[in-house]
Structure 1
Amino acid sequence: MQTLILGSSSPFRAELLAKLHLNFLTASPDIDESPKPNETPDQLVRRLAESKARKIAEQYPDSLIIGSDQVAVLNGQVMGKPGNHLKAIEQLSAASGNTVTFMTGLALFNAATGNMQSDVDYFEVVFRTLSAEQIEFYLTTEQPYQCAGSFKSEGFGISLFKELRGRDPNSLVGLPLIRLIELLANENIDVLVSSPLRASY
Protein backbone atom coordinates (compact mmCIF):
# COMPACT_ATOMS: atom_id res chain seq x y z
CA MET A 1 0.00 0.00 0.00
CA GLN A 2 1.33 3.41 -0.96
CA THR A 3 2.05 6.13 1.57
CA LEU A 4 -0.40 9.03 1.45
CA ILE A 5 1.34 12.43 1.59
CA LEU A 6 -0.33 15.79 2.21
CA GLY A 7 1.81 18.35 0.40
CA SER A 8 1.16 21.22 2.79
CA SER A 9 2.53 22.74 5.98
CA SER A 10 -0.93 24.04 6.92
CA PRO A 11 -2.21 22.62 10.24
CA PHE A 12 -5.74 23.42 9.07
CA ARG A 13 -5.43 21.24 5.95
CA ALA A 14 -3.93 18.44 8.05
CA GLU A 15 -6.84 18.71 10.49
CA LEU A 16 -9.29 18.46 7.60
CA LEU A 17 -7.60 15.42 6.07
CA ALA A 18 -7.59 13.73 9.48
CA LYS A 19 -11.41 13.70 9.29
CA LEU A 20 -11.12 10.87 6.76
CA HIS A 21 -9.37 8.61 9.32
CA LEU A 22 -6.49 7.79 6.97
CA ASN A 23 -2.83 7.48 7.81
CA PHE A 24 -0.82 10.21 6.11
CA LEU A 25 2.40 12.14 6.32
CA THR A 26 2.87 15.85 5.65
CA ALA A 27 5.59 17.48 3.59
CA SER A 28 6.02 21.11 2.63
CA PRO A 29 6.71 21.76 -1.08
CA ASP A 30 9.05 24.63 -1.98
CA ILE A 31 7.87 26.03 -5.33
CA ASP A 32 7.59 29.38 -7.06
CA GLU A 33 3.96 30.45 -6.64
CA SER A 34 4.15 33.47 -8.96
CA PRO A 35 1.34 33.64 -11.53
CA LYS A 36 2.20 33.33 -15.20
CA PRO A 37 1.27 36.08 -17.70
CA ASN A 38 -2.45 36.08 -18.53
CA GLU A 39 -3.07 33.16 -16.16
CA THR A 40 -6.56 33.20 -14.64
CA PRO A 41 -6.98 32.58 -10.88
CA ASP A 42 -8.48 29.12 -11.43
CA GLN A 43 -5.70 28.18 -13.86
CA LEU A 44 -3.18 29.38 -11.27
CA VAL A 45 -4.51 27.29 -8.37
CA ARG A 46 -4.80 24.13 -10.49
CA ARG A 47 -1.24 24.53 -11.77
CA LEU A 48 0.16 25.20 -8.30
CA ALA A 49 -1.69 22.25 -6.76
CA GLU A 50 -0.22 19.97 -9.42
CA SER A 51 3.26 21.54 -9.08
CA LYS A 52 3.24 21.03 -5.31
CA ALA A 53 2.31 17.37 -5.70
CA ARG A 54 5.03 16.80 -8.32
CA LYS A 55 7.60 18.55 -6.14
CA ILE A 56 6.81 16.29 -3.17
CA ALA A 57 7.11 13.28 -5.51
CA GLU A 58 10.81 14.06 -5.91
CA GLN A 59 11.23 13.15 -2.24
CA TYR A 60 8.54 10.42 -2.12
CA PRO A 61 8.69 8.74 -5.57
CA ASP A 62 6.29 5.85 -4.82
CA SER A 63 3.64 7.76 -2.90
CA LEU A 64 0.14 9.09 -3.43
CA ILE A 65 0.41 12.85 -2.98
CA ILE A 66 -2.21 15.53 -2.34
CA GLY A 67 -1.46 19.06 -3.53
CA SER A 68 -3.66 22.07 -2.85
CA ASP A 69 -3.61 25.81 -3.42
CA GLN A 70 -6.16 28.56 -2.88
CA VAL A 71 -6.88 32.15 -3.85
CA ALA A 72 -9.64 34.55 -2.87
CA VAL A 73 -11.09 36.67 -5.68
CA LEU A 74 -13.11 39.88 -5.36
CA ASN A 75 -14.42 41.62 -8.48
CA GLY A 76 -11.98 39.65 -10.63
CA GLN A 77 -8.95 40.59 -8.52
CA VAL A 78 -6.97 38.13 -6.40
CA MET A 79 -6.87 39.02 -2.70
CA GLY A 80 -3.54 37.93 -1.29
CA LYS A 81 -2.36 37.76 2.30
CA PRO A 82 -2.49 41.29 3.73
CA GLY A 83 0.68 41.02 5.79
CA ASN A 84 -0.22 43.99 7.98
CA HIS A 85 -3.09 45.78 9.70
CA LEU A 86 -3.59 48.60 7.20
CA LYS A 87 -3.75 46.25 4.21
CA ALA A 88 -6.19 44.03 6.08
CA ILE A 89 -8.45 47.02 6.70
CA GLU A 90 -8.37 47.75 2.95
CA GLN A 91 -9.28 44.17 2.08
CA LEU A 92 -12.16 43.84 4.53
CA SER A 93 -13.49 47.27 3.61
CA ALA A 94 -13.55 46.18 -0.04
CA ALA A 95 -15.21 42.86 0.84
CA SER A 96 -17.89 44.52 3.00
CA GLY A 97 -21.32 43.93 1.43
CA ASN A 98 -19.76 41.99 -1.45
CA THR A 99 -19.17 38.38 -2.49
CA VAL A 100 -15.69 36.83 -2.41
CA THR A 101 -15.06 33.66 -4.42
CA PHE A 102 -12.56 31.14 -3.10
CA MET A 103 -10.94 28.96 -5.74
CA THR A 104 -9.17 25.90 -4.39
CA GLY A 105 -6.97 23.83 -6.65
CA LEU A 106 -6.79 20.15 -5.70
CA ALA A 107 -4.43 17.56 -7.13
CA LEU A 108 -3.92 13.87 -6.39
CA PHE A 109 -0.71 12.54 -7.94
CA ASN A 110 0.19 8.87 -8.01
CA ALA A 111 3.96 9.18 -8.19
CA ALA A 112 4.36 5.45 -8.85
CA THR A 113 2.16 5.42 -11.97
CA GLY A 114 2.45 9.06 -13.05
CA ASN A 115 -1.33 9.50 -12.92
CA MET A 116 -2.31 13.10 -12.10
CA GLN A 117 -5.88 14.07 -11.22
CA SER A 118 -6.75 17.70 -10.57
CA ASP A 119 -9.74 19.98 -10.20
CA VAL A 120 -10.79 23.41 -8.93
CA ASP A 121 -13.47 23.81 -6.26
CA TYR A 122 -15.40 27.08 -5.95
CA PHE A 123 -16.90 28.50 -2.78
CA GLU A 124 -18.57 31.88 -2.31
CA VAL A 125 -18.64 33.98 0.83
CA VAL A 126 -21.16 36.83 1.07
CA PHE A 127 -19.93 39.45 3.52
CA ARG A 128 -22.10 41.44 5.85
CA THR A 129 -21.95 45.22 5.51
CA LEU A 130 -19.22 46.02 8.01
CA SER A 131 -18.51 49.27 9.80
CA ALA A 132 -14.98 50.56 10.33
CA GLU A 133 -15.40 49.82 14.04
CA GLN A 134 -16.41 46.21 13.38
CA ILE A 135 -13.48 45.67 11.02
CA GLU A 136 -11.05 47.12 13.55
CA PHE A 137 -12.46 44.93 16.33
CA TYR A 138 -12.26 41.78 14.23
CA LEU A 139 -8.68 42.43 13.10
CA THR A 140 -7.49 43.29 16.60
CA THR A 141 -9.14 40.15 17.95
CA GLU A 142 -7.95 37.59 15.40
CA GLN A 143 -5.03 39.28 13.58
CA PRO A 144 -5.45 37.26 10.34
CA TYR A 145 -2.58 38.98 8.55
CA GLN A 146 -1.22 35.77 6.97
CA CYS A 147 -4.62 34.70 5.64
CA ALA A 148 -5.85 35.42 2.11
CA GLY A 149 -8.69 37.91 2.30
CA SER A 150 -7.83 38.97 5.87
CA PHE A 151 -9.98 36.49 7.78
CA LYS A 152 -10.03 32.98 9.24
CA SER A 153 -13.26 31.28 8.26
CA GLU A 154 -12.53 28.43 10.67
CA GLY A 155 -12.33 30.93 13.53
CA PHE A 156 -13.90 34.29 14.45
CA GLY A 157 -14.07 35.17 10.75
CA ILE A 158 -17.50 33.52 10.60
CA SER A 159 -18.82 36.68 12.28
CA LEU A 160 -18.09 38.64 9.08
CA PHE A 161 -20.33 36.56 6.84
CA LYS A 162 -23.93 36.88 5.74
CA GLU A 163 -24.06 33.71 3.65
CA LEU A 164 -21.89 30.80 2.51
CA ARG A 165 -22.44 29.15 -0.87
CA GLY A 166 -20.72 26.05 -2.12
CA ARG A 167 -20.55 22.30 -2.47
CA ASP A 168 -18.12 21.66 0.37
CA PRO A 169 -17.47 23.97 3.35
CA ASN A 170 -14.07 22.28 3.83
CA SER A 171 -13.03 23.93 0.57
CA LEU A 172 -13.17 27.31 2.27
CA VAL A 173 -10.48 26.20 4.73
CA GLY A 174 -8.31 24.90 1.89
CA LEU A 175 -8.99 21.20 1.24
CA PRO A 176 -12.21 20.14 -0.56
CA LEU A 177 -12.75 16.73 1.02
CA ILE A 178 -15.80 15.74 -1.01
CA ARG A 179 -13.84 16.06 -4.26
CA LEU A 180 -10.75 14.45 -2.68
CA ILE A 181 -12.80 11.38 -1.71
CA GLU A 182 -13.81 11.06 -5.37
CA LEU A 183 -10.20 11.35 -6.56
CA LEU A 184 -9.09 8.75 -4.00
CA ALA A 185 -11.84 6.40 -5.24
CA ASN A 186 -10.33 6.69 -8.72
CA GLU A 187 -7.14 5.30 -7.17
CA ASN A 188 -9.17 2.43 -5.64
CA ILE A 189 -9.16 3.91 -2.15
CA ASP A 190 -12.61 3.86 -0.59
CA VAL A 191 -12.59 5.88 2.64
CA LEU A 192 -15.63 3.94 3.86
CA VAL A 193 -13.87 0.57 3.62
CA SER A 194 -11.17 -0.79 5.89
CA SER A 195 -7.70 -0.64 4.33
CA PRO A 196 -4.00 -0.49 5.33
CA LEU A 197 -4.29 3.29 4.96
CA ARG A 198 -6.83 3.38 7.76
CA ALA A 199 -5.63 5.22 10.83
CA SER A 200 -6.27 3.57 14.19
CA TYR A 201 -8.12 5.60 16.81
Structure 2
Amino acid sequence: MLPLLLASSSVYRRELLARLGLPFVCDSPDIDESHRAGEAALELVKRLAREKTFALADRYPAHLIIGSDQVAVIGERILGKPHTFENAREQLLAASGTKVTFLTGLALLNSQTGACQVDCVPFTVTMRTLDQARVERYLRTEQPYDCAGSFKAEGLGVSLFQRTEGPDATSLVGLPLIRLVDMLLVEGVEVP
Protein backbone atom coordinates (compact mmCIF):
# COMPACT_ATOMS: atom_id res chain seq x y z
CA MET A 1 0.00 0.00 0.00
CA LEU A 2 1.22 3.48 -0.83
CA PRO A 3 1.45 5.76 2.21
CA LEU A 4 -1.57 7.99 2.88
CA LEU A 5 -1.30 11.76 2.98
CA LEU A 6 -4.12 14.01 4.14
CA ALA A 7 -3.83 17.28 2.23
CA SER A 8 -5.23 19.40 5.02
CA SER A 9 -4.38 21.24 8.21
CA SER A 10 -7.90 20.64 9.59
CA VAL A 11 -7.95 18.93 12.97
CA TYR A 12 -11.53 17.83 12.21
CA ARG A 13 -10.48 15.97 9.05
CA ARG A 14 -7.46 14.50 10.82
CA GLU A 15 -9.70 13.12 13.59
CA LEU A 16 -12.09 11.64 11.05
CA LEU A 17 -9.37 9.96 9.00
CA ALA A 18 -7.85 8.48 12.18
CA ARG A 19 -11.11 6.52 12.62
CA LEU A 20 -10.11 4.26 9.73
CA GLY A 21 -7.12 2.99 11.70
CA LEU A 22 -4.69 3.49 8.80
CA PRO A 23 -1.36 5.27 9.21
CA PHE A 24 -1.21 8.67 7.51
CA VAL A 25 0.65 11.95 7.52
CA CYS A 26 -0.69 15.47 7.00
CA ASP A 27 0.54 18.40 5.00
CA SER A 28 -1.23 21.61 4.15
CA PRO A 29 -1.55 22.48 0.46
CA ASP A 30 -1.07 26.09 -0.57
CA ILE A 31 -3.81 26.81 -3.10
CA ASP A 32 -6.10 29.70 -3.96
CA GLU A 33 -9.51 28.69 -2.58
CA SER A 34 -11.37 31.55 -4.25
CA HIS A 35 -14.74 30.93 -5.82
CA ARG A 36 -14.60 31.52 -9.58
CA ALA A 37 -17.26 33.65 -11.25
CA GLY A 38 -20.15 31.49 -12.42
CA GLU A 39 -18.80 28.37 -10.70
CA ALA A 40 -21.48 26.19 -9.14
CA ALA A 41 -20.93 25.09 -5.52
CA LEU A 42 -20.66 21.44 -6.57
CA GLU A 43 -17.92 22.21 -9.08
CA LEU A 44 -16.14 24.49 -6.61
CA VAL A 45 -15.71 21.83 -3.92
CA LYS A 46 -14.70 19.15 -6.42
CA ARG A 47 -12.14 21.46 -8.02
CA LEU A 48 -10.66 22.52 -4.68
CA ALA A 49 -10.46 18.94 -3.38
CA ARG A 50 -8.64 17.91 -6.56
CA GLU A 51 -6.32 20.94 -6.54
CA LYS A 52 -5.33 20.22 -2.93
CA THR A 53 -4.13 16.75 -3.91
CA PHE A 54 -2.18 17.91 -6.96
CA ALA A 55 -0.60 20.78 -5.01
CA LEU A 56 1.31 18.20 -2.92
CA ALA A 57 1.97 15.58 -5.62
CA ASP A 58 5.51 16.74 -6.42
CA ARG A 59 6.55 16.64 -2.76
CA TYR A 60 4.90 13.24 -2.26
CA PRO A 61 5.47 11.35 -5.53
CA ALA A 62 4.48 7.88 -4.28
CA HIS A 63 1.47 8.52 -2.03
CA LEU A 64 -2.29 8.28 -1.96
CA ILE A 65 -3.19 11.92 -1.37
CA ILE A 66 -6.59 12.78 0.10
CA GLY A 67 -8.07 16.21 -0.52
CA SER A 68 -11.38 17.55 0.73
CA ASP A 69 -13.25 20.84 0.68
CA GLN A 70 -16.66 21.88 1.94
CA VAL A 71 -19.19 24.66 1.52
CA ALA A 72 -22.65 25.17 2.93
CA VAL A 73 -25.35 26.25 0.50
CA ILE A 74 -28.69 27.98 1.10
CA GLY A 75 -30.54 28.02 -2.20
CA GLU A 76 -27.84 29.28 -4.58
CA ARG A 77 -25.88 31.17 -1.92
CA ILE A 78 -22.52 29.63 -1.02
CA LEU A 79 -21.44 29.98 2.60
CA GLY A 80 -17.76 29.43 3.24
CA LYS A 81 -15.80 29.91 6.45
CA PRO A 82 -16.98 33.08 8.19
CA HIS A 83 -13.64 34.02 9.83
CA THR A 84 -15.34 36.66 12.04
CA PHE A 85 -18.10 36.85 14.64
CA GLU A 86 -20.12 39.29 12.51
CA ASN A 87 -19.96 37.11 9.38
CA ALA A 88 -20.85 34.01 11.40
CA ARG A 89 -23.86 35.75 12.99
CA GLU A 90 -25.08 36.87 9.57
CA GLN A 91 -24.68 33.35 8.11
CA LEU A 92 -26.56 31.67 10.95
CA LEU A 93 -29.43 34.17 10.99
CA ALA A 94 -29.78 33.71 7.22
CA ALA A 95 -29.94 29.93 7.76
CA SER A 96 -32.63 30.14 10.46
CA GLY A 97 -35.60 27.88 9.63
CA THR A 98 -34.17 26.85 6.24
CA LYS A 99 -32.57 23.81 4.69
CA VAL A 100 -28.81 24.04 4.38
CA THR A 101 -26.97 21.66 2.09
CA PHE A 102 -23.35 20.86 2.89
CA LEU A 103 -21.38 19.85 -0.17
CA THR A 104 -18.13 18.06 0.56
CA GLY A 105 -15.76 17.55 -2.33
CA LEU A 106 -13.43 14.57 -2.01
CA ALA A 107 -10.43 13.60 -4.11
CA LEU A 108 -7.99 10.72 -3.89
CA LEU A 109 -4.87 11.03 -6.01
CA ASN A 110 -2.38 8.23 -6.59
CA SER A 111 0.62 10.48 -7.14
CA GLN A 112 2.61 7.55 -8.53
CA THR A 113 0.18 6.78 -11.38
CA GLY A 114 -1.62 10.13 -11.67
CA ALA A 115 -5.02 8.44 -11.25
CA CYS A 116 -7.40 10.77 -9.44
CA GLN A 117 -10.89 9.97 -8.20
CA VAL A 118 -13.13 12.95 -7.45
CA ASP A 119 -16.65 13.09 -6.02
CA CYS A 120 -18.99 15.25 -3.97
CA VAL A 121 -21.09 14.03 -1.06
CA PRO A 122 -24.14 16.14 -0.09
CA PHE A 123 -25.68 16.33 3.35
CA THR A 124 -28.77 18.39 4.18
CA VAL A 125 -29.66 19.95 7.50
CA THR A 126 -33.00 21.50 8.40
CA MET A 127 -32.26 24.37 10.75
CA ARG A 128 -34.23 25.33 13.83
CA THR A 129 -35.65 28.82 13.93
CA LEU A 130 -32.86 30.86 15.49
CA ASP A 131 -32.98 34.22 17.19
CA GLN A 132 -30.04 36.56 17.61
CA ALA A 133 -29.52 35.73 21.31
CA ARG A 134 -29.26 31.99 20.62
CA VAL A 135 -26.91 32.55 17.71
CA GLU A 136 -24.65 34.81 19.77
CA ARG A 137 -24.55 32.33 22.68
CA TYR A 138 -23.55 29.58 20.26
CA LEU A 139 -20.87 31.74 18.65
CA ARG A 140 -19.36 32.82 21.98
CA THR A 141 -19.23 29.20 23.15
CA GLU A 142 -18.19 27.39 19.97
CA GLN A 143 -16.34 30.06 17.92
CA PRO A 144 -16.87 28.17 14.62
CA TYR A 145 -15.08 30.72 12.44
CA ASP A 146 -13.13 28.04 10.56
CA CYS A 147 -16.24 25.98 9.72
CA ALA A 148 -18.26 26.24 6.51
CA GLY A 149 -21.43 28.20 7.17
CA SER A 150 -20.46 28.65 10.86
CA PHE A 151 -21.73 25.17 11.70
CA LYS A 152 -19.51 23.10 13.98
CA ALA A 153 -21.50 19.89 13.73
CA GLU A 154 -19.05 17.91 15.84
CA GLY A 155 -19.81 20.29 18.71
CA LEU A 156 -22.74 22.49 19.70
CA GLY A 157 -23.65 23.17 16.10
CA VAL A 158 -25.85 20.10 16.29
CA SER A 159 -28.09 22.03 18.72
CA LEU A 160 -29.02 24.33 15.83
CA PHE A 161 -30.30 21.44 13.71
CA GLN A 162 -33.87 20.20 13.64
CA ARG A 163 -33.25 17.33 11.22
CA THR A 164 -30.44 15.86 9.13
CA GLU A 165 -30.41 13.72 6.01
CA GLY A 166 -27.66 12.33 3.85
CA PRO A 167 -25.68 9.27 2.86
CA ASP A 168 -22.73 9.84 5.21
CA ALA A 169 -22.82 11.82 8.45
CA THR A 170 -19.02 12.23 8.39
CA SER A 171 -19.40 14.40 5.29
CA LEU A 172 -21.07 16.98 7.52
CA VAL A 173 -17.80 17.34 9.44
CA GLY A 174 -15.76 17.60 6.22
CA LEU A 175 -14.39 14.19 5.21
CA PRO A 176 -16.92 11.62 3.90
CA LEU A 177 -15.42 8.38 5.15
CA ILE A 178 -17.86 6.02 3.43
CA ARG A 179 -17.00 7.44 0.01
CA LEU A 180 -13.30 7.61 0.92
CA VAL A 181 -13.28 3.89 1.77
CA ASP A 182 -14.80 3.20 -1.68
CA MET A 183 -11.99 5.21 -3.28
CA LEU A 184 -9.31 3.48 -1.19
CA LEU A 185 -10.68 0.08 -2.22
CA VAL A 186 -10.19 1.06 -5.89
CA GLU A 187 -6.52 1.68 -4.99
CA GLY A 188 -6.26 -1.73 -3.31
CA VAL A 189 -6.38 -0.43 0.27
CA GLU A 190 -8.40 -2.73 2.51
CA VAL A 191 -10.28 -1.12 5.41
CA PRO A 192 -10.23 -2.61 8.00
The normalised TM-score by structure 2 is 0.97
Q: Tell me how far apart the structure 1 counterparts of residues 182 and 135 of structure 2 sit (CA, whole Å).
A: 38
* Matched residue type, 2:140: T
Aligned residue runs from structure 1 range 51-200, under 5 A: 51-192=51-192
How many matched pairs?
192
Matched residue SS, 1:57? coil
Q: Tell me how far apart the structure 2 counterparts of residues 105 and 133 of structure 1 sit (CA, whole Å).
A: 33
Per the TM alignment, residue 145 of structure 1 is displaced from its structure 2 partner at its CA by: 2.0
Q: Tell me how far apart the structure 2 counterparts of residues 71 and 186 of structure 1 sit (CA, whole Å).
A: 26
Q: Tell me how far apart the structure 2 counterparts of residues 110 and 82 of structure 1 sit (CA, whole Å).
A: 32
- Specify every segment of 5 or more residues in structure 2 that has no aligned partner in the other structure, as ranges: none
Post-superposition Cα deviations, 1:63-109, rounded to whole Å, max 9, x if no partner, equal 11101111111121101222222222211111010011111110010
Per the TM alignment, residue 117 of structure 1 is displaced from its structure 2 partner at its CA by: 0.5
Per the TM alignment, residue 129 of structure 1 is displaced from its structure 2 partner at its CA by: 0.6
* Matched residue type, 2:118: S
Q: Tell me how far apart the structure 2 counterparts of residues 117 and 146 of structure 1 sit (CA, whole Å).
A: 26
Q: Tell me how far apart the structure 1 counterparts of residues 131 and 38 of structure 2 sit (CA, whole Å).
A: 35
Larger Rg over CA atoms: 1
Post-superposition Cα deviations, 1:105-139, rounded to whole Å, max 9, x if no partner, equal 10010011111111000001110011222112111
Q: Tell me how far apart the structure 2 counterparts of residues 157 and 83 of structure 1 sit (CA, whole Å).
A: 16
Match of 2:38 in 1: 38
Matched residue SS, 1:121? strand
- Specify every segment of 5 or more residues in structure 1 that has no aligned partner in the other structure, as ranges: 193-201
Per the TM alignment, residue 146 of structure 1 is displaced from its structure 2 partner at its CA by: 2.4
Percent identity reads 55
* Matched residue type, 1:147: C
Moved more, 61-70 or 138-147: 138-147
* Matched residue type, 1:136: E
Matched residue SS, 2:107? strand
Q: Tell me how far apart the structure 2 counterparts of residues 11 and 86 of structure 1 sit (CA, whole Å).
A: 24
* Matched residue type, 2:152: K
Runs of 4+ in 1 over 3 A off after TM superposition: none
Match of 2:50 in 1: 50
Matched residue SS, 2:172? helix
Q: Tell me how far apart the structure 2 counterparts of residues 138 and 36 of structure 1 sit (CA, whole Å).
A: 31
